[in-house]
Amino acid sequence: MIGFFPLLHSFYFLFYYLTIFCIFLLLVVLQLGAHAVEGVWPLPQKLLSSRERYTLEPRTLYFVYGRESSAQEGCSVLDAAFKRYFSLIFPEYTAGRIVPFSENKSFIVEVTVGHSDCDGYPKEDSPEKYKLNITDGQAFLNAETVWGYFVNKTYIKDFPRFQFRGLMLDTSRHYLPLRTIFKTLDAMAYNKFNVFHWHIVDDPSFPFQSLAFPDLSRKGAFHPMTHIYTQSDVRKVISYARMRGIRVLPEFDSPGHTKSWGQGQPDLLTPCYTGNTPTGSVGPVNPALPSTYKFMWALLKEVTSVFPDSYIHLGGDEVNFSCWKSNPDIRTFMQKMGFGTDFAKLEGFYIENIVNITSALNKTSIVWQEVFDNHIQVSNLSLSVVEVWKAGCYLCKVRKVTKARLRVILAAPWYLDQPHNWAHYYNVWPLAFKGTEEQKKLVIGGEACMWGEYVDASNLAPRLWPRASATAERLWSDENQTNSLDKAFPRLNEFRCRLLRRGIQAEPLSVGHCKYEYEGI
């Protein structure tokens, strides 16, 4: 007999992802059973479970739409979710193993959705609250075989603490195949992440295939055929994410981190000088040329036509001014614009132009914190979101940014490329800064970041999971109910085993074993 929490956990995430587009979800699941919250991750806002338990069998479990549901049969998101989570609940059954015939009455999972958006995409303000009510409404089920499941009488009322719960992957430093991205999206869904921040290009390579500027990937990718993402590939990722309630947020970082761009776009990057002699090397994007903004308009217009999300990440971090300082044409432009020798003003000029472009394309821009740190004055920066990523007193920075009435995404404590264990990422309190309630409302969420210097498809999953799960719970669950490492450990340890069973190669937390070990190798 398989225990209750694999089943409750599967229902728990099914019901969350069934509601990603909905204002309200009430689920009536007739039957359930076992312990309290062991293995449920992230922890729901409210979970009540009794010792009263029932049984389930694969031949008697059915998902149906409620009569009052706005969504009905034919809703692509929900129909696919029913099939996907049935397989997660009964993996042996869907694997084709023989299941004994059952004469027990049907177990009905009735789903009611208040608002239907079956063909749309998840948005930054998509309500994610839901209720799950599990009561005795069916006959007793035979529990004498391994195909049966115990489930408790259970009630869950749940909603996220933060609206933005992201995971960032870097596909420039190492290319990640689509199957690896898909597997990561699956794991994100299990962890209730709702934003895939795709840091798709950077200095090392430009794998995004632009139709307007095909030389960007032809000359800037590691390989122009095998290590690129065609626009068809991108749409597959977006579609796969949509079916799991996940937004796809692209990042095209500039003016720095653009060496790969220059290989396919002549005159985009700034020539560096020693005295009056060019060195042959290049620096950041050249902000003095009108052709730069013509190119950026065309590229960003294409990008926003491919990525439907209302946000776009513009980067703006780690801009090295030395090449700009060495270039005589840049210095002449600085004097003409009245910038003197303040190269932060030159950076601000560039950023303002790019933000204006994205605003004209009806997109909300996200920038790394240097845009704020350098006191860059952008007339419509109130439309932007600042991502705080630098270590140190990052909450001091959050306080300063929110005091300026800007929205914040917190990433600084969740850099997964650093060698910390899960507890380091769990003991984070995003709102523990001195500020008003209005300031704290401007913290829209956070994200775990996996930079790609030492990560590719061979080791991505165990580097991510279950450490990223710690970030996921911090962003979803009530902080007052999740402030104990000792209480969190057994839940996360069980959840890690569940990830293994679902094919996610999650690394162990400590000494021990799982009933279902990873079988992917």
Between the alpha carbon of residue 461 and those of residues 14, 139, 170, 458, the distances in Å are: 22, 42, 13, 8
Binning the chain into helix, strand and coil, the percentages to the nearest 5 are 35, 20, 45
Do 427 and 479 share a domain, yes or no? Answer: yes
**Cis? peptide before 462, omega within 30° of 0:** no
Q: Which pLDDT value is given to residue 122?
A: 85
Q: How many CB atoms lie within 10 A of CB 263?
A: 19
Do 200 and 148 share a domain, yes or no? Answer: no
**pLDDT higher than 50, residue 24:** no
Tokens coding 108: 């009905």
Q: How many CB atoms lie within 10 A of CB 305?
A: 12
Q: Evaluate whether residue 31 is within a structural domain.
A: no
d(CA 166, CA 246): 9
**pLDDT higher than 60, residue 211:** yes
Do 173 and 121 share a domain, yes or no? Answer: no
First to last CA, the chain: 27
Do 429 and 472 share a domain, yes or no? Answer: yes
Between the alpha carbon of residue 353 and those of residues 288, 369, 501, the distances in Å are: 11, 18, 49
**pLDDT higher than 90, residue 8:** no
Q: Which pLDDT value is given to residue 182?
A: 98
- 57 or 392: which carries more pLDDT confidence? 392
Least confident of 84-93, 295-304, 359-368, 429-438: 84-93
Do 309 and 444 share a domain, yes or no? Answer: yes
Three-state DSSP class for 327?
coil
Q: What is the pLDDT of residues 137-195, one digit of tens each?
A: 432 222 221 123 445 566 677 889 999 999 999 999 999 999 999 999 999 999 999 99
CATH number of the domain where residue 283 is located: 3.20.20.80
- Report residue 486's pLDDT band, with 50, 70 and 90 as the boundaries: very high
- Report residue 55's pLDDT band, with 50, 70 and 90 as the boundaries: low
CATH number of the domain where residue 109 is located: 3.30.379.10
> How many residues in total does the chain contain?
521
Q: One of 73, 92, 318, 438 is an active-site residue; which one? A: 318
Q: Which pLDDT value is given to residue 31?
A: 28
Q: What is the pLDDT of residues 309-350, one digit of tens each?
A: 999 999 999 999 999 999 999 999 999 999 999 999 999 999
Do 118 and 179 share a domain, yes or no? Answer: no
Q: Which pLDDT value is given to residue 138?
A: 38
d(CA 232, CA 209): 10
CA 143 to chain centre: 39
Q: Is 370 a catalytic residue?
A: no
Last residue of a domain, which of 140, 158, 176?
Answer: 158
Full domain range(s) for residue 116: 46-158
d(CA 477, CA 491): 14
In this structure, the strands spanning 164-170 and 130-135 are unpaired
Do 74 and 130 share a domain, yes or no? Answer: yes
Q: Evaluate whether residue 9 is within a structural domain.
A: no
Do 127 and 266 share a domain, yes or no? Answer: no
- Report residue 378's pLDDT band, with 50, 70 and 90 as the boundaries: low
Q: Evaluate whether residue 512 is within a structural domain.
A: no
High-pLDDT (> 90) share of the chain, %: 66
Q: Evaluate whether residue 287 is within a structural domain.
A: yes
Closest CA to 320 of 269, 262, 277: 269
H or E element that contains 85: helix 76-89
Tokens 């005091």 map to which residue? 403
d(CA 386, CA 443): 10
**pLDDT higher than 50, residue 41:** yes
Q: How many CB atoms lie within 10 A of CB 159?
A: 16
Burial of 449 (0-12, 13-18, 19+ CB in 10 A): buried
Give the CA diameter of the chain: 89
Q: What is the pLDDT of residues 57-77, one digit of tens each?
A: 777 777 778 788 888 888 888
- 94 or 117: which carries more pLDDT confidence? 117
Tokens 């009630």 map to which residue? 155
Between the alpha carbon of residue 368 and those of residues 249, 407, 462, the distances in Å are: 14, 12, 27
Between the alpha carbon of residue 236 and those of residues 232, 242, 306, the distances in Å are: 6, 10, 11
**Helix ranges restricted to H, 338-393:** 343-360, 370-373
d(CA 285, CA 268): 6
Last residue of a domain, which of 138, 158, 178?
Answer: 158
Tokens coding 202: 């950077």
CB 398 within 8 A of CB 439: no
d(CA 320, CA 326): 11
CB 196 within 8 A of CB 247: yes
H or E element that contains 303: helix 290-306
How many structural domains does the chain have? 2
Q: Evaluate whether residue 20 is within a structural domain.
A: no
Closest CA to 4 of 45, 32, 42, 29: 32
Q: Evaluate whether residue 15 is within a structural domain.
A: no
d(CA 109, CA 147): 18
Closest CA to 265 of 206, 328, 215, 308: 215
Q: Evaluate whether residue 23 is within a structural domain.
A: no
Q: Evaluate whether residue 449 is within a structural domain.
A: yes
Tokens 């933005």 map to which residue? 164
d(CA 127, CA 310): 16
Do 115 and 187 share a domain, yes or no? Answer: no
Q: Which pLDDT value is given to residue 140?
A: 26
Concatenating the DSSP letter of every residue in 134-150 gives EE--S-----SSTT-EE
Do 139 and 170 share a domain, yes or no? Answer: no
Q: How many CB atoms lie within 10 A of CB 395?
A: 21
Do 294 and 421 share a domain, yes or no? Answer: yes
Last residue of a domain, which of 158, 175, 197?
Answer: 158
Task: Please tell me the pTM assigned to this model.
Answer: 0.89
Do 204 and 305 share a domain, yes or no? Answer: yes
**Helix ranges restricted to H, 102-230:** 178-191, 215-220
